Amino acid sequence: MNFKKQLLQLQNQGAYRSLKILPQGTFNFCSNDYLALSHHSKVIEGALQATKKYGAGSGAARLISGNNDLMERLEYEVSQWKQVESSLLFNSGYHANIGVIPALADENTIIFSDEFNHASIIDGCRLSKAKTVIYRHNDMGHLEELLKNPPHPPFVKGGDSHFVPPLKKGVRGILIITESVFSMEGDLAPLEDLKELAEKYDALLYVDEAHAVGMFGENGVGRLGKNPSENILTMGTFGKAFGSYGAFVCGSDVLKKYLINKARSFIFSTSLPPSAMGASRAALKIIQGREGENLREELWSNVSVVNKELGLDQGESPIFSIKIGDAKKTMALSERLLKDKIYIQGIRPPTVPEGSSRLRLTVSARHTVKELFCLIKNLEKIL
């Protein structure tokens, strides 16, 4: 393979990617650290104390020798917060999706996936080898039309669906997958409609709440709320609003045991470092308390300012998608903003569809009004 030729081709297409270290004094408007907890003194202290007690790393996968009481306490605390029977930690949202989806689905399963779902969901569907059907973004009419007349999966002779052991009795091998808050669009999935369709068509609903937990719902529990029904699985991450690292999947005790035995990204990965779990435990306490409420109020106030001043007619989440279209133009605008100490990353294919490159702007509780108006002024100059 000619690597140089491939890289040159990416450059010509405006799709070449490189790493950046932001200059000092740059205002970061594309981080997922929505509540600014990555710099919170209690979260940092949680990481330090866990490291002092448990060491820098776990040393192995959890099924070998990498399990400890810190992990089990964090899982218990997440379960109490979400009011579910059990939770299972994964190393990231990506690890969760590429582990859970293939554990639930196989050649005898049909997956219905939103067209704008995250790459980790797409990869999880591919790894499952299930028949995957894409429904139009947030189009419940289209989804129901597909559910009424689902294609036949390529059944394996003598094969049994993976759904039977861990899930609701009667589920017939249909899995609906959606993000709760879409990471590139910033809009919200119609969860109530999705729940109704899952119930009506005897399907399992898998909801990726990566960009919702910490910010939505009572005590930041997410858009699904507490104690979701037995045909709903939820995944959340610690790497965004929690300001830490890792992920969790919530469900029944049986589901947890099943995933421990079937989710390959869990089985074969060295478990999370103590520092990440100590930080996540501290962040969870903040998110559930009065300080968490205050941070959410600050966040949504900042979202309102940007939405109003730029006239974006978005503001359902802290994610704003400013569509440009052309990939090269998008990246040129991103570079121009960076010269003015405003960092907004340009998003291009394959992350988004061809012709829909955009500036993905995110707002956090940490941004001051002065910073927001500096952002707005610079955006108005170039748009």
Residues involved in catalysis: 32, 118, 179, 183, 208, 211, 240
Residue closest to 29 by CA, chosen among 359, 351, 329, 383: 359
Which tokens is 375 given?
């952002």
Which tokens is 8 given?
């040159």
Name the β-bridge partners of 360. Answer: 321
C-alpha 213/C-alpha 219 separation (Å) is 9
Strands 110-114 and 131-135, sheet pairing: parallel
Q: CA 284 → CA 35, 98, 224, distances in Å?
A: 12, 25, 17
What is the residue type of 24? Q
Backbone CA torsion sign across 52, 53, 59, 61? negative
Name the β-bridge partners of 10. Answer: none
Check if the beta carbon of residue 199 is closer than 8 Å to that of residue 285. no
